[in-house]
Chain A
């Protein structure tokens, strides 16, 4: 015991020392420097920063034919025709004033112009696509807001398509994405805070929330978690997600990622915080509950009866996708008396030739299915169909004919596969698909006992999870009966008067009560 403690202390100490040695600030490659009045010196400074960067262009010219100036920009990030027309043309050809900074500003017909003093700011503006103008004798550089780069058109996100509802999706450009949000929520209370994360990538991050709906503590928590991040680059929002979630070892996602502005707006209106990352169309929503991960935007765009029915169908198939094969394995190896006689006789018949135990059979088919799915997902569309035909038809059929697997097992695997694709969020679907394997092993070793053990462990885990302080299983646990109308059913819009309890308590009412429509009453002025 004593030895163990000593060992622990020593280990602890060494860990602490290691973390002290790592210098969190040591990675900044460009320490800030002030600009000078000497143009050549300034240009040399920028040139040294952008040494060996062939895409950085330095353009020398004379303002009004006398004062030397240099325009620096990164090729491909700047709208060069606009620069020619609105910066170079007025300065070179028609400039008759004193070549001072205020006069130059007046001459340039561009709405966004900033004066910059330090190289850090200049580098930031340059990499943002804004050309920088240096003028002889000026201690400041002018950043001209004319960025432009190739971007995708706004189109429907293929992973989250709906039959009814907006067909626009986020794209890779942060500014387009914030604009999409702003177009949906026009109130100035929609706040979009910006920050840069990534020492090398300098990725722009925007945190959007609605002031007055989102709890200030939640926004503050999100900002502080984001500020804590020290990473070389952010290439996708999942980089952020993994660094800010509550339980990083859980298979379940604790932030929702969506490519749909309408989904993000709906969450904003419920008091959630949305994190947008430049360079990726998927934005993060926090906090999120397990139930909301099982909901699709379409639930709210269909009539509520349909929405409720589909929601229940989804719950049912969620259960099937987790327990389907393990239930089958448990029943067929341990609890044969539970199967209706005619069904058991048929299953026994089809299993007669199969050499493997049901567990091995299930593992074989399930991993085969996962392999097929993965192969199909990575291949170009044309070859993907070929793979699915070969996989599903040929292998499935041939495996049964060869007596390696039984027909009921193929059916179970197929149903489970379809069920797992019913999860509206891919991240949840894949978590469930993974958990299926330990469940199968448990069912194979211990039958229903193992199945129940597995369910208890998963439930316990889900109940202990939190997403930004909100219990993952709310409103089921902690129980909130008022919120159940959006869980067990999709209540009609005129009944959804309140925001979800845990994110919306800051501003609980989303609409005036008593809006149930009906025909005009005869005596009320008709």
Chain B
């Protein structure tokens, strides 16, 4: 390479490097300029406007003094968040008004929890979901809840165990004791064939003498066409989870006949399969539940080292599972006509042609679908002791 060419290349390189700087970091946002939202709630106000409340994590106002610059270990605890609300015609409108109230840029990227107030849920929240799915900011993997009462009230709570209410709710959902529904799953359910969805319901346990108010998941909200139509209690929700194949952990307690006590099983593994059948106009579905359980407590007079007794317990457990699921089925089919179990998808997968012919009549078909629950359980381990030394007279 001779001198001029080298000079030209160098000049070009020099210019292009400077062109790079011309962009001037236009997208740059320092963390110091962000208002990090950890949870957001939507409510309907008296005058039919949307109220958007956000829980903002406070990075600056640490009440504990800084130790040598490193934030002391316990400063990440509670009480470091603040709730701000704004109302608007749409969520986007409310969000832009919210921005006017906050000195920092509202940052949706870390929002892990969305809570919809019960009133808004009953009115329907198709429009907010539209925003949350379309806007690139909010995560599709954030958890969605419906709150009994105002969502804002839930956000105001400061749980003592976790860093924020968002963490607390998210972890509770994750434990699979109730439903664990993300934004993406909700949108899929709402836009799916069944047009029905379920969301975990958040309830506030009011303040009592010795303990502060706290939020917990209690039952679930059933949605039909984007509107909340009813509420399932805790037990029915468990049945619902069996049917949706979402149960992971749990303790099932049954009282077998003529045994004089209860037996508790710990669920190790469970699998649910939906097998649909269409015979003429007769739509039916077979639910095959398979579980593997351990016995963790035995207060009956049955000696668990006798295989016959294990067999008896197994039958009792299967009957219990059947009963739980049928309770959820009855409510969903008869009370709300909401296909929250995604039977529609099961039918579509097996009988796509029949489904396409009848898809407009699904609301009429679903309550009449005959469901046969077939529970099969395996009791893997009777626990560390066989015949209980503590209970006398075991058979």
Chain A residues with a Cβ under 8 A of chain B: 7-8, 11-12, 15, 332-334, 336-337, 339, 341-342, 344-354, 357-359, 397, 400-403, 407, 442, 444-447, 450
Give the complex CA separation of A7 and B112 in angstroms: 65
Q: Closest chain A residue to B137 by CB distance?
A: A337
Q: Is the CB of B38 within 8 A of A349?
A: no
State how many angstroms separate the Cβ of A461 from the closest Cβ of chain B: 13
Give the complex CA separation of A346 and B57 in angstroms: 11
Give the complex CA separation of A355 and B129 in angstroms: 38
Given pairs A346-B76, A347-B31, A348-B36, 6 additional interface contacts (CB within 8 A): A11-B2, A333-B29, A337-B139, A345-B36, A345-B57, A447-B27
- Asked if B209 is an interface residue, CB under 8 A from chain A, the answer is no
A-B contact pairs, 18 of them (CB 8 A): A333-B28, A334-B29, A336-B109, A337-B107, A341-B167, A344-B36, A348-B31, A348-B32, A349-B71, A350-B70, A351-B32, A353-B69, A357-B30, A397-B68, A400-B69, A401-B69, A403-B69, A446-B20
- Asked if B60 is an interface residue, CB under 8 A from chain A, the answer is yes
0 or 1 for each of B279-301: is its CB under 8 Å from A? (1 = yes): 00000000000000000000000
Q: Closest chain A residue to B70 by CB distance?
A: A407
Contact partners of A358 in chain B: CB under 8 A: 30-31
Give the complex CA separation of A342 and B167 in angstroms: 9
Q: Is the CB of A333 within 8 A of B25?
A: yes
Q: Which residue of the partner chain, among A354, A444, A445, contacts B32 with CB atoms under 8 Å?
A: A354
Give the complex CA separation of A359 and B28 in angstroms: 10
Q: Is the CB of A11 within 8 A of B3?
A: yes
Contact partners of B38 in chain A: CB under 8 A: 341, 345
- Asked if B62 is an interface residue, CB under 8 A from chain A, the answer is yes
- Asked if B4 is an interface residue, CB under 8 A from chain A, the answer is yes
Q: Closest chain B residue to A14 by CB distance?
A: B3
Q: Is the CB of B27 within 8 A of A15?
A: no
Q: Is the CB of A342 within 8 A of B163?
A: yes
Contact partners of B20 in chain A: CB under 8 A: 442, 445-446, 450
Q: Is the CB of A400 within 8 A of B71?
A: no
Main secondary structure of the interface of A (DSSP, over half): helix
Give the complex CA separation of A142 and B68 in angstroms: 77
Contact partners of A357 in chain B: CB under 8 A: 25, 28, 30
State how many angstroms separate the Cβ of B103 from the closest Cβ of chain A: 13
Residues of B237-292 contacting chain A, CB below 8 A: none
- Asked if B96 is an interface residue, CB under 8 A from chain A, the answer is no
Contact partners of A342 in chain B: CB under 8 A: 163, 167
Give the complex CA separation of A357 and B137 in angstroms: 22
Contact partners of A345 in chain B: CB under 8 A: 36, 38, 57, 59, 76, 110, 163
Contact partners of A397 in chain B: CB under 8 A: 68-69
Q: Is the CB of B4 within 8 A of A350?
A: no
Contact partners of B107 in chain A: CB under 8 A: 336-337
Residue from the set B3, B25, B29 with the largest chain A CB neighbour count within 10 Å: B25
Give the complex CA separation of A447 and B4 in angstroms: 34
- Asked if B23 is an interface residue, CB under 8 A from chain A, the answer is yes
- Asked if B204 is an interface residue, CB under 8 A from chain A, the answer is no
Main secondary structure of the interface of B (DSSP, over half): loop
State how many angstroms separate the Cβ of A360 from the closest Cβ of chain B: 10
Chain B residues with a Cβ under 8 A of chain A: 2-4, 20-21, 23, 25, 27-32, 34, 36, 38, 57, 59-60, 62, 68-71, 75-76, 107, 109-110, 112, 137, 139, 163, 166-167
Residue from the set B69, B70, B107 with the largest chain A CB neighbour count within 10 Å: B69
Give the complex CA separation of A445 and B28 in angstroms: 8
Q: Is the CB of A351 within 8 A of B30?
A: yes
Give the complex CA separation of A332 and B36 in angstroms: 13
Q: Closest chain B residue to A336 by CB distance?
A: B109
Q: Which residue of the partner chain, among A15, A337, A401, A446, contacts B2 with CB atoms under 8 Å?
A: A15
Give the complex CA separation of A351 and B29 in angstroms: 13
Q: Closest chain A residue to B69 by CB distance?
A: A400
Sorted from nearest, which 10 A-B pairs have the closest CB atoms? A337-B109, A400-B69, A348-B59, A401-B69, A348-B31, A341-B110, A352-B59, A349-B59, A352-B60, A333-B28
Give the complex CA separation of A11 and B25 in angstroms: 41
Q: Is the CB of A351 within 8 A of B31?
A: yes
Q: Is the CB of B34 within 8 A of A352?
A: no
Q: Is the CB of B59 within 8 A of A401?
A: no
Contact partners of A353 in chain B: CB under 8 A: 69
Give the complex CA separation of A333 and B27 in angstroms: 8
State how many angstroms separate the Cβ of A341 from the closest Cβ of chain B: 5
Q: Closest chain A residue to B59 by CB distance?
A: A348
Give the complex CA separation of A450 and B21 in angstroms: 11
Q: Closest chain B residue to A350 by CB distance?
A: B71
Give the complex CA separation of A378 and B30 in angstroms: 37
Contact partners of A347 in chain B: CB under 8 A: 31
Contact partners of A334 in chain B: CB under 8 A: 27-29
Q: Is the CB of A12 within 8 A of B2?
A: yes
Q: Is the CB of A333 within 8 A of B23?
A: no
Q: Which residue of the partner chain, among A7, A344, A346, contacts B110 with CB atoms under 8 Å?
A: A344
Contact partners of B137 in chain A: CB under 8 A: 337
Q: Closest chain A residue to B25 by CB distance?
A: A445
Contact partners of A401 in chain B: CB under 8 A: 68-69
State how many angstroms separate the Cβ of B340 from the closest Cβ of chain A: 30
Q: Is the CB of B4 within 8 A of A332?
A: no
Contact partners of B31 in chain A: CB under 8 A: 332-333, 336, 344, 347-348, 351, 358
Give the complex CA separation of A8 and B38 in angstroms: 64
State how many angstroms separate the Cβ of A511 from the closest Cβ of chain B: 45
Give the complex CA separation of A359 and B21 in angstroms: 13
Give the complex CA separation of A450 and B75 in angstroms: 36
The verdict on A336 contacting B32 (CB below 8 Å), with A346-B76, A350-B70 known, is no
Q: Is the CB of A346 within 8 A of B71?
A: yes
Give the complex CA separation of A341 and B76 in angstroms: 12
Give the complex CA separation of A339 and B34 in angstroms: 14
Q: Closest chain B residue to A11 by CB distance?
A: B4
Q: Is the CB of A333 within 8 A of B30?
A: yes
Q: Closest chain B residue to A351 by CB distance?
A: B31
Q: Closest chain B residue to A453 by CB distance?
A: B20
Q: Closest chain A residue to B71 by CB distance?
A: A349
State how many angstroms separate the Cβ of A299 from the closest Cβ of chain B: 38
Q: Is the CB of A336 within 8 A of B29?
A: yes
Q: Closest chain B residue to A400 by CB distance?
A: B69
Contact partners of B25 in chain A: CB under 8 A: 333, 357, 359, 444-445
Give the complex CA separation of A15 and B27 in angstroms: 48
Q: Closest chain B residue to A356 by CB distance?
A: B30
Give the complex CA separation of A403 and B21 in angstroms: 27
Q: Is the CB of A337 within 8 A of B110?
A: yes
Contact partners of A349 in chain B: CB under 8 A: 59, 62, 71, 75-76
Contact partners of A444 in chain B: CB under 8 A: 25, 28
Q: Is the CB of B36 within 8 A of A15?
A: no
Q: Is the CB of B70 within 8 A of A336?
A: no
Give the complex CA separation of A402 and B68 in angstroms: 8
Q: Closest chain A residue to B27 by CB distance?
A: A334
Residue from the set B21, B62, B71, B75 with the largest chain A CB neighbour count within 10 Å: B71
Contact partners of A337 in chain B: CB under 8 A: 107, 109-110, 137, 139
Contact partners of A344 in chain B: CB under 8 A: 31, 36, 110
State how many angstroms separate the Cβ of A132 from the closest Cβ of chain B: 48
Q: Is the CB of B68 within 8 A of A348?
A: no
Q: Is the CB of A336 within 8 A of B34?
A: yes
Contact partners of B167 in chain A: CB under 8 A: 341-342
Give the complex CA separation of A332 and B30 in angstroms: 7
Contact partners of B71 in chain A: CB under 8 A: 346, 349-350
Give the complex CA separation of A442 and B4 in angstroms: 28
Q: Is the CB of B23 within 8 A of A446?
A: yes
Contact partners of B36 in chain A: CB under 8 A: 336, 344-345, 348
Q: Is the CB of A348 within 8 A of B57?
A: yes
Give the complex CA separation of A400 and B70 in angstroms: 8
Give the complex CA separation of A333 and B25 in angstroms: 9
Q: Is the CB of B110 within 8 A of A445?
A: no
Q: Closest chain B residue to A407 by CB distance?
A: B70
Residue from the set B3, B31, B68 with the largest chain A CB neighbour count within 10 Å: B31
Contact partners of A339 in chain B: CB under 8 A: 110
Q: Is the CB of A8 within 8 A of B4?
A: yes
Give the complex CA separation of A347 and B59 in angstroms: 9
Contact partners of B60 in chain A: CB under 8 A: 352
